[in-house]
């Protein structure tokens, strides 16, 4: 604190440890990696999120592969320190009291970034309000909106209560946090002793806000019926007159100052909904997508706005397996502080890289065999696929033609496949996909060993990205904004076999850092054919018959992609282009 110009980072989910179920997938992991890099690089930051006392969920899969969700029981006190400060927000005419819990992320040099988890489970609140910070992405729209009020409005109030008065920038990690802009507008009007918002207030707030959009998938952009928003946060809220926000006049003023003006109903309130992405876009002076291609796609989606791109990364020291950490420590001392130096990986002797990879692989295979009793073989080419089981990720692309696949495996070289991933509790399509993998697993039992591990989390994530030989990625272009698991694999010398989408468009050099699938178009059957051809003609032959070249690809993964697709490089770009500009 003190006089440091602090960045306040707001995210609905943050992945800090496997034991804390406060994340669901890539967005939360990215938030955690961002904070870890800020701590390593001594960037003054404070992070705000919700406690998620019952977690995302614990995934169980029955013998048919049907997913059942269990609330997670975690002992909050074992991880976090309770803070004495209290704030409240008014929602739907009720006062909801909020406290917070503190976690400290400590960087390599000892620098600390605090993370505050907001918690409404207090005796003063009604039974229902106490559940508001229980479930990540749970409940209906009303529940979600209340959660976002706690995060955005309660979060800013909590920062002030914690004596953070010198915030340089508010960084909204996805639109879930964008209600914080309303609290900042309110602060401006109060400072001036007014009840209504002026152009100056809007400019002041915009000068403080940064927004990162993370997905072109519509479900990723929150929107709430205007009537619901009115009911929850206005007009009887403890705010400036909320009708201001809904009035055509304000919207027009927000937009006019952007020089481009479109009808209000198209922007903030299309068909009487408040779109939180537009709210964040309109009140931020810097907006970015999370890969170059995603920047382009976002500029098409939101043509009125200037949108930059900062490609995601991963926190190297978090995602590199222990055997590889020892190898890097020996050959590239200082790599944890200076991720760029991983470019020198090219000079590591191939035999050492192969030995270290096999140590990581053995650990994974032993774990998988222990969990599933499937009897996988460490010497076989092992493909890994672990992701949220969202339909656009196309987890079943590999099984488009299972006869062809089993023929390739028996004729060219045996392969085995390890899967993991949770479907959102309300995503029936995603759940069906998991069942489909279980069906194919039975069908191919004699030819190809397939395992599906329960409850994908950070811990198993680290094990699988470092222990397989090939990382498979098959989203439907252009829906994968960035993707980060392939970056974790690259840091462990594991090449990607991936559709040309997200970060892979930037990280892919054919035959050097891995292999592409298809041409980046939307045609599923073309992608499936391309996938089989690459396996049959390139990947399997190289793995079994030209091991030396395969290891060469592994080295280039580390040197070209590990050295670049990390959150240290990413954080430096945020600092230069967004935070302190
Ligand atoms: C890295 C990671 C993700 C994100 O992976 P994507 O490839 O971006 O989908 C999701 N869940 C866990 C547990 C992870 O470690």
Cβ-based neighbours of 565, under 8 Å, separated by 6 or more: 311, 312, 313, 314, 487, 490, 503, 507
Token pair belonging to 208: 């403080």
Mean pLDDT, all residues of the chain: 92
The CA-based dihedral angle spanning residues 130, 135, 141, 146, taken in that order and rounded to the nearest 10 degrees = 40
What is the residue-wise DSSP string for 282-346?
HT-SEEEESSHHHHHHHHHHTTTS--EE----B-HHHHS-HHHHHHHHHHSTTTTT-GGGGGGGG
> Does residue 25 line the site of ligand 1, with CB under 6 A?
yes
Distance 349 CA to ligand 1 centre (A): 30
CA 389 – CA 336 distance, rounded (Å): 32
Alpha helices by DSSP H, listed for 8-154, are 26-40, 76-79, 127-130, 141-149
Could you tell me what percent of the chain has a pLDDT over 90? 83
> Does residue 157 line the site of ligand 1, with CB under 6 A?
no
> Does residue 313 line the site of ligand 1, with CB under 6 A?
no
> Does residue 312 line the site of ligand 1, with CB under 6 A?
no
Distance 504 CA to ligand 1 centre (A): 15
- 3 state DSSP class of 384: strand
Which of the listed residues 386, 459, 492, 566 should we mutate to test ligand 1's pocket, taking the one with most ligand atoms within 8 A of CB? 386
> Does residue 501 line the site of ligand 1, with CB under 6 A?
no
Residue whose CA is at the smallest distance from ligand 1 atom 2? 26
Distance 488 CA to ligand 1 centre (A): 9
Does the pLDDT at position 333 exceed 60?
yes
pLDDT tens per residue across span 72-97: 989 999 999 999 999 999 998 899 99
For residues 238 and 177, which has the higher predicted lDDT (pLDDT)? 177
Distance 238 CA to ligand 1 centre (A): 39
Distance 300 CA to ligand 1 centre (A): 26
Is residue 310 a contact partner of residue 506, using CB atoms and an 8 Å limit? Answer: no
For residues 455 and 265, which has the higher predicted lDDT (pLDDT)? 455
Is residue 49 a contact partner of residue 115, using CB atoms and an 8 Å limit? Answer: yes
Ligand 1 atom closest to the CA of 24, numbered from 1 = 11
Nearest residue to 501 (alpha-carbon basis) of 482, 529, 515, 485: 482
Could you tell me what percent of the chain has a pLDDT over 70? 93
Does the pLDDT at position 264 exceed 70?
no
CA distances 561 to 313, 330, 463, 575, Å, are 10, 20, 19, 21
Peptide bond into 478 cis (omega under 30): yes
Mean pLDDT of the region 120-145: 96
Nearest residue to 262 (alpha-carbon basis) of 282, 244, 245, 243: 282
pTM: 0.95
Nearest residue to 71 (alpha-carbon basis) of 86, 60, 84, 83: 60
Does the pLDDT at position 221 exceed 90?
no
Confidence of residue 243 (pLDDT cuts 50, 70, 90): low
Ordered domains of the chain (ranges, CATH) = 7-313+570-579 (3.40.50.2000), 316-565 (3.40.50.2000)
pLDDT tens per residue across span 486-543: 999 999 999 999 999 999 999 999 999 999 999 988 899 999 999 999 999 999 999 9
Of the ranges 11-15, 267-271, 307-311, 343-347, which one carries the lowest mean pLDDT score? 267-271
CA 25 – CA 142 distance, rounded (Å): 23
pLDDT reported for residue 199? 84
Distance 71 CA to ligand 1 centre (A): 21
Ligand 1 atom closest to the CA of 456, numbered from 1 = 13
Say which residue the tokens 């028996």 belong to.
410
């Amino acid at each position: 604190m003190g006089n440091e110009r602090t960045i306040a980072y707001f995210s609905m989910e943050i992945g800090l440890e496997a034991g804390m179920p406060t994340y669901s997938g890539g967005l939360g992991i990215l938030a955690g990696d961002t904070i870890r890099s800020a701590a390593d690089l001594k960037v003054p930051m404070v992070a705000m999120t919700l406690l998620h006392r019952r977690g995302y969920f614990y995934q169980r899969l029955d013998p048919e592969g049907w997913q059942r969700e269990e609330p997670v029981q975690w002992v909050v006190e074992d991880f976090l320190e309770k803070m004495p400060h209290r704030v409240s927000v008014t929602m739907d005419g009720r006062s909801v009291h909020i406290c917070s819990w503190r976690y400290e992320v400590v960087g390599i040099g000892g620098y600390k970034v605090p993370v505050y988890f907001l918690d409404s489970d207090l005796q003063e609140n009604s039974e229902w309000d106490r559940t508001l910070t229980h479930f990540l992405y749970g409940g209906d729209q009303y529940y979600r909106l209340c959660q976002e009020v706690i995060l955005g409005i309660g979060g800013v109030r909590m920062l002030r209560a914690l004596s953070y008065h010198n915030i340089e920038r508010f960084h909204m990690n996805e639109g879930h946090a964008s209600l914080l802009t309303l609290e900042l507008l309110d602060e401006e009007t109060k400072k001036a002793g007014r009840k209504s918002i002026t152009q100056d207030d809007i400019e002041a707030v915009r000068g403080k806000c940064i927004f990162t959009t993370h997905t072109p998938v519509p479900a990723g952009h929150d929107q709430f019926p205007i009537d619901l928003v009115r009911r929850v946060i206005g007009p009887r809220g403890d705010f400036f007159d909320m009708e201001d926000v809904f009035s055509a006049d304000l919207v027009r003023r927000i937009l006019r100052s952007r020089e481009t003006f479109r009808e209000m109903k198209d922007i903030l309130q299309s068909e009487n909904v408040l779109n939180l992405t537009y709210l964040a876009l309109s009140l931020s002076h810097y907006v970015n997508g999370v890969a170059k291609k995603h920047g382009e796609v976002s500029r098409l989606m939101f043509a009125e706005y200037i949108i930059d791109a900062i490609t995601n990364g991963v926190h190297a020291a978090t995602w590199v397996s222990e055997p590889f950490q020892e190898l890097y420590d020996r050959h590239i001392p200082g790599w944890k502080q200076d991720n760029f130096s991983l470019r020198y990986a090219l000079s590591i002797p191939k035999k050492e890289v192969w030995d270290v990879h096999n140590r990581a692989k053995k650990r994974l295979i032993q774990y998988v065999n222990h969990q599933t009793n499937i009897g996988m073989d460490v010497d076989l080419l092992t493909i890994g696929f672990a992701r949220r089981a969202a339909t656009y990720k196309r987890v079943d692309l590999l099984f488009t033609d299972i006869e062809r696949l089993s023929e390739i495996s028996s004729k060219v070289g045996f392969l085995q496949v390890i899967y993991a991933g949770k479907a959102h509790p309300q995503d029936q399509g995603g759940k069906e996909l998991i069942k489909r993998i279980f069906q194919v697993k039975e069908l191919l039992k004699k030819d190809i060993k397939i395992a599906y591990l329960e409850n994908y989390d950070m811990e198993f994530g680290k094990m699988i990205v470092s222990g397989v030989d090939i990382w498979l990625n098959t989203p439907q272009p252009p829906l994968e904004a960035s993707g980060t698991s392939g970056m974790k694999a690259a840091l462990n010398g594991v090449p990607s076999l991936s559709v040309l989408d997200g970060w892979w468009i930037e990280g892919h050099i054919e035959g050097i850092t891995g292999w592409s699938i298809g041409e980046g178009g939307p045609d599923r059957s073309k992608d499936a054919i391309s996938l089989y051809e690459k396996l049959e003609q390139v990947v399997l032959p190289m793995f079994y018959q030209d091991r030396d070249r395969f290891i060469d690809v592994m080295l280039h993964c580390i040197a070209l992609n590990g050295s670049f697709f990390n959150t240290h490089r990413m954080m430096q770009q945020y600092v230069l282009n967004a935070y302190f500009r």
